[in-house]
Structure 1
Amino acid sequence: MTSHKRVVLTAFGTLGDLYPAMVIALELQNRGHRVVIATTEGYRSKIEEIGIKFHALRPEIPPSMGAEWTSLLLDPFIDDKGLMDLFCSSQRQTYDDLIKAVQGADLLVSINCTVVVAPLVAQKTRMRWISCVVDPFYVAEDFLGITPFAWVNYAFVELVSFLVSFVASVLLVHKYISQLRAELGLLRTKRHTFFSDLFSPELVLALYSPVIAKRRSDYPANTQITGFTFDRQLPNQVLSQTLTEFLDSGSPPIVFTLGSSAVYAVDAEKFYTESVIAAQKLGYRAVLLVGDNTQNLPLTLPKGVITVNYAPHSEIFPRAALIVHQSGMGTTAQALLAGVPMLLVPYEYEQPDTAARLVRLGVGRMLKPKQYHADRVTTELNKLLTQPQYKVKALEVQNRIQSEKGVQTACDAIEKHLSLNCSTVEQMTS
Structure 2
Amino acid sequence: MPESSAPIAIFTIGTQGDIRPCVALGVGLQRAGYPVRIVTSDNFEGMVRAAGLAFRPLTANFQTLLDANRDIVEQGLDMRAMARMSRQFYSEWATRWAAEGLAAAEGAGLLIGVANSTLLAKAVAEARNIPFVGAQLQPLTPSRHMPPLVLVGGRKLPPALNMAAYNVLRLLVWYVMKPAINDIVRPQLGLPTYPWYGPYFHNQQHRVLYGFSEHVVPRPADWPDTAQITGYWFLDQPEWRAPDALHAFIDAGPKPVYIGFGSMVSTDAEQFTAIVRQAVRRSGQRAVLATGWGGLEGEEGVHDEQIFFTRSAPHDWLFPRMAAAVHHGGAGTTAAAVRAGIPSVIMPFYGDQPFWARCLQREDVAPPALDRKQLSEEALANAIHSAMQEPMRRAATTLGERVRAEDGVGSALRCLQAWGYLAPIADEPAIEPLRNVG
> Normalised by the size of structure 1, how large is the TM-score?
0.85
Distance 1:391-1:18 versus aligned 2 partners, 3 A rule:
same
User: What per-residue deviation string (whole Å, max 9, x for no partner) do you get for residues 229-267 of structure 1?
Assistant: 1123x454442322112111222111101122x2x1335
Q: Secondary structure at the match of 1:117?
A: helix
Does the CA-based 8 Å contact 2:148-2:165 persist in structure 1?
no
Indicate if the aligned counterparts of 2:39 and 2:56 stay in contact, CA closer than 8 A: yes
1:121 to 121, 124, 133: 124
Alignment of structure 1 residues 165-244 onto 2, 5 Å: 165=171, 171-180=175-184, 181-190=186-195, 192-194=197-199, 201-219=205-223, 222-232=226-236, 234=237, 236-244=239-247
The amino acid across from 1:118 in the alignment is A
Distance 1:118 1:80, change over 3 A: closer
Is the Cα contact below 8 Å between 1:131 and 1:200 reproduced in 2? no
AA partner of residue 188 (structure 1) = T
Paired residues, number:
407
| Structure 1 residues 269 and 160: CA distance shift in structure 2, 3 A | farther
Instruction: Give me the TM-score of the superposition, normalised by structure 2.
Output: 0.83
Q: What is the match of residue 410 of structure 2? A: 408
Question: What is the DSSP-based 3-state SS (H/G/I as helix, E as strand, rest coil) of the residue aligned with 1:296?
Answer: coil
The within-5 A match list for 1:23-422 is 23-59=24-60, 61=61, 63=63, 66-69=66-69, 71-72=71-72, 74=76, 76-78=79-81, 84-136=87-139, 138-140=140-142, 142-143=148-149, 144=154, 146-147=156-157, 152-159=158-165, 161-162=167-168, 165=171, 171-180=175-184, 181-190=186-195, 192-194=197-199, 201-219=205-223, 222-232=226-236, 234=237, 236-260=239-263, 262=264, 264-266=265-267, 268-293=269-294, 296-297=297-298, 303-365=305-367, 366-385=369-388, 387-416=389-418, 417-419=420-422
RMSD over aligned Cα atoms: 3.0
Contact 2:15 2:62 in 1 (8 A): no
Residue 207 of structure 1 deviates from its aligned partner by 0.3
Is the 8 Å Cα contact of residues 37 and 53 (structure 2) preserved in structure 1? yes
1:162·1:192 contact (CA, 8 Å) conserved in 2?
no
What SS does the aligned partner of 1:108 have?
strand
How many angstroms does 1:146 deviate by? 1.5
Distance 1:265 1:160, change over 3 A: farther
Structure 1 gap ranges (5+): 422-430
CA contact (8 A) 1:207 1:229 kept: yes
Match of 1:5, SS?
coil
Aligned match of 1:427:
none
**Distance in 2 separating the partners of 1:31 and 1:156:** 39
Show structure 2 runs of 5+ residues with no match.
425-438
Partners of 2:266 and 2:294 within 8 A in 1? no
Aligned to 1:426: none
% of aligned pairs identical? 24
Given that residues 239 and 312 in structure 1 are in contact (C-alpha distance below 8 angstroms), is that contact kept between their aligned partners in structure 2? no
Aligned residues of 1:109 and 1:132 also touching (Cα < 8 A): yes
Q: Are residues 395 and 81 of structure 1, via their aligned partners in 2, closer, same or farther at CA, if it must alter by over 3 Å? A: closer
Does the Cα contact within 8 Å between 2:98 and 2:188 map onto a contact in 1? no
Question: What is the CA–CA distance in structure 2 between the aligned matches of 1:375 and 1:331, rounded to whole Å?
Answer: 24
Deviation at 1:326, TM superposition (A): 0.6
Read off the aligned partner of 1:162 and give its amino acid letter: V
- The answer to whether the 8 A contact 1:10-1:115 is kept is yes
Say if 1:317 and 1:323, in contact at 8 Å, map to a contact too: yes
Deviations 1:89-130 (A, max 9, x none): 331411211111111110001222345411211211121111
In terms of mean alpha carbon deviation, does 20-29 or 396-405 score higher?
Answer: 20-29
CA deviation map 1:311-351 (0-9, x unaligned) = 11111111112211111111011101111111111121110
The AA in structure 2 aligned to 1:206 is Y
**Residue type of the partner of 1:306?**
F
Check conservation: 2:283, 2:382, Cα contact below 8 A.
no
Instruction: After superposition, give the CA deviation of every residue in 1:45-88 in whole Å (9 maximum; x if it has no partner).
Output: 221122211111124x2656532356437364347967753431
